[in-house]
Amino acid sequence: MRKKLNIVLNFVIFPSLAIILLYLAFRGIELETIWNDLLKADFRWVFLSLAFAVGGFYFRALRWRILLQSANYKPPINTTIYALMIGYFANMAIPRVGEITRCATLNKTNQIPIDVSFGTVITERVIDLITLGIVTLSVLILDFSFFSNFFEQNILHYIYKKFSSSYVYIIIILLSLLSIFVLFIIFRNKLQHFLLIRKTTDFAKGVLQGILSILHLKKQGLFWLYTILIWACYVMMTYVVFFSIESTSHLNLVDSLFILSIGGLGMSAPVQNGFGAFHWIVSRGLMLYGISQTDGLLYATLCHESQTLMLLILGPFFVLLTTIYVRKKTKI
């Protein structure tokens, strides 16, 4: 029963939410117009954005390796990158499964316990959440009166208005409630089991060891430098795409911080790779600058689909590299 619920959740509910969000984002938009404008975009800036994205992946792998080293495991950088990229690839199929997938991959290549590596991933996520909060706070400080009204006027008010007049939004509410109910059913016993029993098991100790790796950093300077470089890459990959289309070419670095912060919220939505949620929130954010919804969706599409395509290409490649690595290691 639980397995069937997982299948329904991951392959029916989440994809359905993504489709609904894409529909809402592109509702009333001439898709032919976006396609024609897409063909006119300067893709040199998009490729530069992808280069910054790759840089972010690399620095993230280096940072993760430091956490693993602090937990007394020393994987080579190549297998750390393999695991990270396979995790990103897995997230495109099932939301958030990538965190477990990359730990399982590292276990296969370097025999690092999944519980320990999962603990380091939790630490990473906490640090990234704090960093995203700092970025968002920085944006508010830089121009509070301009950005503080965004969520109220362009998201909360918009959602409230549309919810009262469109059955589509009622469907979203029902699906959300159903998702919460299904999640509760699936994880209720697991949560109780974990809280009441697993605190004293080796698994819990391993996860705790991974989480506490942040307290035993062997290369603190490098760790925080990599964190800064990761987010610098994220800012730049958001910023340079501005120049790929004329309507956003006048925006600056502060504006890219704003788009990055709200885009991060979109990517955290429980749908495959942020589909729909990212497009909707970024296009709404760009409308603050007087940019049309069509051009905002064009920018969001350039950012999101270029990275999605890159992961679709790189994902299988890193799966192949991992398979070759494991086979060679097994023969030795």
Does 329 fall in a domain? Answer: no
At 287-330, the pLDDT tens digits run 888 999 899 999 999 999 999 999 999 999 999 999 999 888 87
Structure tokens at 37: 């404008």
Q: How far is CA 316 from CA 82, 86, 321, in A?
A: 10, 8, 9
For residue 58, the enclosing domain spans 2-324
pLDDT band (50, 70, 90) for residue 181:
low
Percentage of the chain modeled with pLDDT above 70: 69
Q: How many residues does the chain have?
A: 332
**pLDDT exceeds 70 at position 209:** no
Average pLDDT over residues 265-270: 77
Number of domains in the chain: 1
332 in a domain, yes or no?
no
Crossing angle for the helix pair 43-70 and 293-331, nearest 10 degrees? Answer: 50
- Separation of alpha carbons 20 and 318, rounded Å: 31
Ordered alpha helix ranges (H), the chain: 2-8, 14-26, 31-40, 43-70, 77-91, 97-110, 114-142, 144-147, 149, 157-163, 167-196, 202-211, 220-239, 253-267, 277-286, 293-331
Res 199 pLDDT > 70: no
pLDDT band at residue 34 using 50, 70 and 90 as cut-offs: confident
Q: Residue 236: is its pLDDT beyond 50?
A: yes
In-domain check, residue 330: no
The answer, yes or no, to whether residue 247 has pLDDT greater than 90, is yes
Rounded average pLDDT over 60-67: 94
Give the helix/strand (H/E) hosting 122.
Answer: helix 114-142
Instruction: Report pLDDT for 280.
Output: 87
Look at residue 148 and tell me whether its pLDDT is greater than 70.
no
Q: What is the DSSP string of 223-250?
A: HHHHHHHHHHHHHHHHHGGGGGSGGGTT
Q: What is the mean pLDDT of residues 11-31?
A: 63
* Residue 160: pLDDT over 70: no
Residue 313 lies in a domain: yes
Average pLDDT over the chain, rounded to an integer: 79
C-alpha to C-alpha distance for 73 and 118, rounded to whole angstroms? 13
